[in-house]
Amino acid sequence: MTPLLLLTGLLASDPAGKPVDLTLEDQFGRPQQLAACRGEVVLLVYGDRRATDACRELGEKLHVAFHPSAAGQPGAKARSAPVAPLDGVPAGKRSPDVVVLPVACVGKVPGAVRELIRSQMRSAMPDVPVWLDFQGAMEEKFALRSGEPNLCVFDAQGRLRLKVNGTPDKPATDKLLQSVQNLRAEAAGLR
């Protein structure tokens, strides 16, 4: 299936763009806020139950692309791998990170089912917080292609800059990786 790429102000200076406000809970019941990641480029990889494996694969691929030492490492160690330095960042200045966040679009379910889902997620992913969308916020705000991975890219100010609904092919993935690098350069003041 051809990916649907929706560009929203990608790499353009958009002073009118407002940071996105998004708060979801993870599998441990802790609130997670997109605002907590300001200063970094954030990639939210999300999908429904049918897209679980494809989302995991895409999320891992994207994480390793920007954190090469994470390849082949277990969850906690991969998550703490350093970001690859950005060309042009002066010595002593930190390169903006790329934070890949998994979101499970669960849908509206009764409280008892929520607890069962959280328990299953804690067992399956004990080292990596998975944001759980029980309200349909991701589909409502960003659209969702069922059965496939979906992706939102936010700049360091928390503004939505790129959406990919569907499985990106090789050219789309290459463009995505370059776009993220450009957003990192923007965050570092190189653009």
DSSP output for 114-143: HHHHHHHHHHH-SSS--EEESS-HHHHHH-
Say if residues 71 and 166 touch (Cβ distance below 8 Å). Answer: no
Query: Which tokens belong to 165?
Result: 């609904």
Amino acid at the residue 83: V
Could you give the CA distance from residue 187 to residue 155 in angstroms, rounded to a whole number?
Answer: 8
pLDDT class of 14 with cuts at 50, 70, 90: very low
Mean pLDDT of 5-14: 41
pLDDT-derived band of residue 4, with 50, 70 and 90 as boundaries? very low
What's this model's pTM, rounded to 2 decimal places? 0.89
Can you tell me which residue has the tokens 């080292």?
Answer: 127
Average pLDDT, the chain: 90
Distance CA 145, CA 78 (A): 28
Instruction: Dump pLDDT digits (tens) for 143-175.
Output: 999 999 999 999 999 999 999 999 999 999 999
Query: What is the C-alpha separation between 56 and 63, in angstroms, rounded?
Result: 10
DSSP 79-118: HTPPPPPPTTPPTTSPPPPEEEEEEEE--S--HHHHHHHH
pLDDT at 6: 42
Give 47-63 pLDDT, tens digit per residue. Answer: 999 999 999 999 999 99
What is the number of other CB atoms lying within 10 angstroms of the CB of residue 108?
10
Distance CA 29, CA 21 (A): 19
pLDDT value for 7:
39
C-beta separation of 83 from 66 below 8 A? yes
What six digits make up the tokens of 93?
A: 């200045």
pLDDT tens digits, residue range 70-113?
999 988 899 999 999 999 988 888 999 999 999 999 999 998 99
Question: How many C-beta atoms surround the C-beta of residue 137 within 10 A?
Answer: 16
